[in-house]
Amino acid sequence: MPRAKQQEYTIMVVPHSQKPPVSFKFPLALLQVLGLLVVFVPIIMIGFFNRYSSARAVFPELELLRTDSQIKSEQIGKLANETEKMLENLQRLQELEQRLKELNDLEDTSSLPTLPNAEDKRSRNFRSVVSRSYTSVDRTRSGIEVLHEALPDQEERMINLKETIEEQQRRAAATPSRWPTWGFISSPFGWRRHPITGKPDFHTGIDIAGRNIYGSKIYATAKGTVKFAGYRSSYGYLVIIEHGYGFSTYYAHQSKIAVKVGQAVEAGDIIGYVGNSGDSTGPHLHYEVRYWDEPVNPVKYLP
């Protein structure tokens, strides 16, 4: 079957000169394609232009979001660094607490809360947080939550430790801990034969004597308040100091008293002078330590 002849169109260009006309032949299909391009290309261009205009309108917002995101990222990084520093400070506080407890022999003090190990649950959780990237808000928040839990506990422990150490210091200051005068022990604590009556007698303190000891200074052996300062029968001139925590000390046979009742004294303050008053066979200091008014061996409290 013979193929149908394709329809064609001819365009003739006639110049305004002596040159012959020029003709162009175009098949119908080509003209149809060109017509479609003439119609649709402007439509497509208009669509692209509209999309481009919309995108340009969004660009400032995108740039603002990018800048805001960068600022927040920097803030999160700073916050994470501060959180890590807080953890380091917390760890230093824990180490300080432990050293203070060791210096004050408080390792086994049951009244104090136990110091958490540096690798306890909270510390492990936090270290797992700070060891990763600080750009994560959730991770940084987790670290802060750990510190919020740990810091109040640590603060309470430090307050308790401070109170315990202060109490221990007050007790130490109230405990006799030095010689009341120079010399040697001429008569120890305990049963003996009374030097004047010759009868068995329980010596409630120690006698401190020495060559040329008469008139030597007598010192308070701990911090306290003078309860008695005067003459008392066999004790002669006597000073009694109450130190607190059940402790009191007696200084007898003085030649001269240097304090008054109610006077506060510190360890090492001069309270009188060695003498020979009362029931005494020679110049010496009779020194007693009492705990809840019960005589105890003063030697236990001498350095």
User: Quick one: pLDDT at residue 118?
Assistant: 41
More confident residue, 62 or 221: 221
What proportion of the chain, given as a percentage, has pLDDT over 90? Answer: 43
Q: SS in 3 state form for 236-250?
A: EEEEEEEEECCEEEE
| H or E, element range at 208 | strand 206-209
User: Quick one: pLDDT at residue 108?
Assistant: 47
More confident residue, 277 or 72: 277
pLDDT at 257 over 50: yes
Distance CA 254, CA 237 (A): 5
**DSSP string across 13-45:** E--SSSSPPEEEEEEHHHHHHHHHHHHHHHHHH
pLDDT at 57 over 70: no
User: Quick one: pLDDT at residue 37?
Assistant: 76
- What number of other Cβ atoms are within 10 A of residue 94's Cβ? 20
Per residue in 189-206, pLDDT (tens digit) is: 999 999 888 899 999 999
pLDDT at 300 over 80: yes
Per residue in 149-188, pLDDT (tens digit) is: 777 777 788 888 888 888 999 999 999 999 999 999 999 9
User: Considering only 13-17, 98-102, 134-138, 228-232, which range has the smallest mean pLDDT?
Assistant: 134-138
Q: Residues 261, 150: contact at Cβ < 8 Å?
A: no
Considering the entire predicted model, what is its pTM?
A: 0.60
User: Quick one: pLDDT at residue 49?
Assistant: 73
Q: For residue 33, what pLDDT band results from cuts at 50, 70 and 90? A: confident
Per residue in 78-131, pLDDT (tens digit) is: 777 777 777 777 777 778 778 777 777 765 444 444 444 444 555 555 455 445
Q: What is the DSSP letter of 284?
A: B
pLDDT at 280 over 60: yes
User: Quick one: pLDDT at residue 117?
Assistant: 46
CA angle 268, 273, 277 (to 5 degrees): 140
User: Quick one: pLDDT at residue 136?
Assistant: 57
pLDDT at 63 over 70: yes
Q: Residues 73, 134: contact at Cβ < 8 Å?
A: no
Average confidence (pLDDT) over 205-233: 97
Give residues with Cβ within 8 angstroms of 200, minimum separation 6: 191, 192, 193, 194
User: Quick one: pLDDT at residue 129?
Assistant: 47
Structure tokens at 282: 């020679």
User: Quick one: pLDDT at residue 207?
Assistant: 98
CA distances from 67 to 54, 140, 239 (A): 21, 21, 81
Q: Is 160 exposed, middle or buried (0-12, 13-18, 19+ CB in 10 A)?
A: middle
Which residue blocks in the chain are alpha helix, DSSP H? 28-103, 121-130, 137-174
User: Quick one: pLDDT at residue 225?
Assistant: 98
How much is the mean pLDDT over the chain?
Answer: 81
Computed over its alpha carbons, how large is the radius of gyration of the chain?
51
Could you report how far apart the first and last alpha carbons of the chain are, in Å? 137
Give Cα 284 to chain centroid, integer Å.
52
User: Quick one: pLDDT at residue 19?
Assistant: 75
Per residue in 128-152, pLDDT (tens digit) is: 544 544 455 666 666 677 777 777 7
User: Quick one: pLDDT at residue 40?
Assistant: 77
